[in-house]
Homo-oligomer: A and B are copies of this chain.
Amino acid sequence: MLGHDYPGQICSIAKALEVVGERWSLLIVRDVMNGNRRFGQLQQGLGVARNVLSARLQRLVEEDILERRPYQSSPERYEYFLTEKGLDLWPALVALLAWGDRHSPEPDGPPMLIVHKGCGGEVSDRGICESCGELLHARDARALPGPGVATGELSASASG
Contact = CB atoms under 8 A, between A and B. Distances in A.
A2 B149 CA distance: 25
Contact of A12 (B23, B47, B112, B152): B112
A104 B1 contact: no
Interface residues of A, number: 53
A97 B11 contact: yes
A103 to B, nearest CB: 5
Given A9-B46, A16-B96, 9 more contacts: A2-B23, A10-B152, A11-B30, A12-B104, A12-B112, A16-B100, A91-B95, A91-B99, A126-B126
A42 interface: no
Could you say which of A94, A106, A126 has the most chain B C-beta atoms within 10 Å of its C-beta? Answer: A126
